[in-house]
Chain A
């Protein structure tokens, strides 16, 4: 009796929660739990399209609410949530929207893929929504521990997604590689967080920022070590050279739509964390981290484009190209300016749709078995599927940075940020690497359009006719329209990125 009375007397201070601001997360979490339960109650092997539509609806809901919140934040200012664990600013909502879009398009691509590959179950959708929630947390994290939790939720779901193709041994292999190296990189990140905590006495970004601003650290060397280790951890996640070695194997082995999801949503989320931490918290230490990021950026664009030329597998080629894109995005971070950050964000926005569209096309061209990925399998595609060949070419040209596509505006943004910061060397290296990169994209285009089909051992015909399911067509169509629309009229997307700058807000007492 006494005990009970004592317990009721104790007031555990519960933080105030602004439930509406968390709606996008709740939609995805609840949707994934409900789907797990629903899947048990419905008969096996059917209604797979219903799962995909359900996931699309959840993603659309979370995307729309994110946009509503974005306008709300723009008008009423950013705020912190759950006693300073998360920040609700334009930056977070920008990435919430982006990740929701990636889930939407990926679900459309996965739908027919499962049927084609004779894979059962709804797990992939559940995992994808969980991964997205991890990404959402990561993008909004206002505390290094929360950031780490978000990253792990994202990563663990992705490890399993990589292994989803039960009939392909390479899929399991990819998952193991991803898991081991991902765990390794998480350790680096965690160690970096610990070091930063040692140096500043807090894991909260705002408090760390205050300590740095007041120059009040007794152990500044810990902070620098922490910065370096965190950079390594992030560089693994975004596949920046020299920490990129996992990406080609994993992208090649994973089911094609999952590779697309990894290259888009996962990379965007990891970049969100990286940008927020380095740009908002550590700008005063930029003399320490800028040279490192500079080196990473240069190495990444060069390695990504040069190693891509020698590949013969299209998925592997695109993995290297996505490495090179990471380098371009790092150039924006390297500039350490408002222009640079918004340039990187715009790049991620454009890149997400380009890469999803590209992997969407690859998914279709891969045919049953998901293994027709050699460049030879693209030989003469324009004869069999002229529209698909054209759309894929547009994505490839966009990735090469040809004008009037979103990819060009994206490259323009980060390069002009570099020029404004007088980093001419990195701009020149990046442009030269872009030319080298153009070669690899053109090689695929050449195969689709130019290469003779007569007398060749492997052509697009030998693997059978390409099936074009509705879902994938819609998904690729969205990416196609976005890529060209932003290429012709980029103003709104540029302003969207500019108005989403990350901020540090004092925690309400």
Chain B
């Protein structure tokens, strides 16, 4: 009896295709929203929110039922395009788990926190399509499926920026689309070549795990293939000098668009580096690590300096993303387990804190119809709560101990210090610069005596506060007690580093035993 019950339970666990439902639910939601009557835009928003909350609930379910250290879980695999050996293969491990959860949480918040000025129905539908695409990219274990999701997210984002953005939206939307598509054009060739070469005359498959386990791609070829992937990811991250689309896209996008763009979509690049760079081409990743770490560190310093000089508050936050993502790349290509763990944690942190920052900036610009720092002054007087919330989020973004940003940056710096000492020294300067540009901006916007235009600045409403509350909770919780998150990330990161070591001449220095490390 017991065994049959167990069997049934096990069977039930297998039978529910969690990830497939997770990816398709927002898509279904988008279709449902598209068929709601146009005259009642609030209905469309409610339906959209409902679907997105349901998706969030599913991601939480996945988080709760996730078992640390057991590789890919909740897998579902079905043949999709058998002619080319392409399958609908989804699965998550500790690395992608938190990306999925972040995506699940951030979308409903973005929907609640900002209301479109017109055409709420298509706006909501596009957001849901975007969510399906991003979730698909984070869950997919098939190269082709990943490429499809990686590329398809451009379309909803293009419409969101173009349709609901600010003054220069037409230019920004076009630049965003073309820039990113150009980046991934080479990746398509890389994907096909990887699959064909890995098959070595046998049956071609695009399955990530199969190709990575085989690992039979020649070293030099692997380098070229790595580059074809890296270009796409570097544009998406964005790494210096391929970042020029980002400030335009972020600044012109509507608030929800910026939140999603910074919070989740940039992570497609850094996640791609880990999942498809390190895992698929370990030797090439080791070979190119110095170059990528250099670009990451340049990004940290460059992003911070440029952010300091910005006159537009939203643009400032956008450039701060360049700096933060530089940290993540540094941690990833430090190729140590601490660095990689820190990177993954920092991806979540950046999503939470920058998402919250964009929402706050959105609130300010809604009220004042400007984002010019020079036009804002003394907002603290009439909006003390907003100033308080802003302070908390800002401190998290700077990386003050006790808040989430610190844990991630600290781990990254420890991890990279072991293998890239001087890079780490330079990167640490970026932390100080972050304090400079954010505190200075805060000072100019919130402190001082408000002038005529800023005197009647409206305080944050309860609804706005509630929409931000989950993010604030996460900022504090993950700052004080990051263990549950790290526990789930760690085993898979260790395994990945081991995979890299086994497939290359790289050796992770054992700092605990006092082994000499690279300068």
Which chain A residues have a beta carbon within 8 Å of chain B's beta carbons? 386, 397, 402-404, 408-409, 412, 415-416, 419-420, 424, 427-428, 431-432, 434-435, 438-439, 442-443, 446, 449-451, 489-491, 494-495, 498
Contacts and interface: CB of A to CB of B under 8 A. Distances in A.
Contacts of B155: 397, 402
B455 interface: no
Contacts of A427: 189, 192
A442 B189 contact: no
Given A435-B178, A450-B163, 11 more contacts: A397-B155, A402-B152, A403-B151, A409-B81, A416-B84, A419-B192, A420-B196, A431-B189, A439-B178, A442-B174, A491-B81
B275 interface: no
A349 B10 CA distance: 45
B14 interface: no
A415 B182 CA distance: 16
Residue of B83, B162, B174 most packed against chain A (CB within 10 A): B83
Given A404-B152, A442-B177, A491-B82, A416 B186 contact: no
Contacts of A428: 186, 189
Nearest to A443: B174
Given A419-B192, A419-B193, A450-B162, A439 B147 contact: no
Contacts of A416: 84, 192, 196
Contacts of A386: 122
A432 B162 contact: no
B81 to A, nearest CB: 6
Interface string B335-349: 000000000000000
Residue of A386, A403, A404, A434 most packed against chain B (CB within 10 A): A403
Interface string B116-153: 00000010000000000000000000000001110110
Interface in B153-177: 154-155, 158-159, 162-163, 169-170, 173-174, 177
Contacts of A495: 83
A193 B385 CA distance: 84
Contact of A494 (B81, B163, B181): B81
Interface string B230-260: 0000000000000000000000000000000
B387 to A, nearest CB: 36
10 cross-chain pairs, A with B, having the tightest CB-CB distances, nearest first: A403-B148, A431-B185, A494-B83, A450-B162, A416-B192, A435-B182, A419-B192, A450-B170, A403-B152, A403-B151
Q: Interface majority SS on A: helix, strand, loop or mixed? A: helix
A355 to B, nearest CB: 20
A446 B173 contact: yes
Nearest to B144: A412
B188 interface: yes
A404 B148 contact: yes
Nearest to A346: B83
Contact of B174 (A420, A424, A446, A491): A446
Contacts of A403: 147-149, 151-152
A438 B163 contact: no
Contact of A402 (B149, B151, B174, B178): B151
A435 B181 contact: yes
Contacts of A435: 178, 181-182, 185
B193 A424 contact: yes
Nearest to B178: A439
Interface of B: 80-84, 122, 147-149, 151-152, 154-155, 158-159, 162-163, 169-170, 173-174, 177-178, 181-182, 185-186, 188-189, 192-193, 196
Contacts of A498: 83
Q: Interface majority SS on B: helix, strand, loop or mixed? A: helix
B214 to A, nearest CB: 18
A456 to B, nearest CB: 13
Contacts of A402: 151-152, 154-155
B173 to A, nearest CB: 7
Contacts of A490: 81, 83
Contact of B162 (A415, A419, A449, A491): A449
Contacts of A408: 148
7 contacts: A403-B148, A427-B189, A438-B181, A442-B174, A450-B162, A451-B170, A495-B83
Residue of B158, B185, B196 most packed against chain A (CB within 10 A): B185
A202 to B, nearest CB: 36
A397 B81 CA distance: 21
Residue of B122, B147, B151, B192 most packed against chain A (CB within 10 A): B192
Contacts of A419: 189, 192-193, 196
Contacts of B192: 412, 415-416, 419, 427
A403 B80 CA distance: 14
Nearest to B145: A403
Contact of A450 (B151, B169, B186): B169
Contacts of B80: 489, 491
A180 to B, nearest CB: 38
Residue of B147, B188, B192 most packed against chain A (CB within 10 A): B188
A435 B154 CA distance: 13
A315 B154 CA distance: 26
A199 B481 CA distance: 83
A498 B84 CA distance: 11
Nearest to A383: B119
Contacts of B152: 402-404
Contacts of A451: 170
Contacts of A431: 185-186, 188-189
Nearest to B83: A494
Contacts of B189: 415, 419, 424, 427-428, 431
A24 to B, nearest CB: 27
Nearest to B152: A403
A386 B159 CA distance: 13
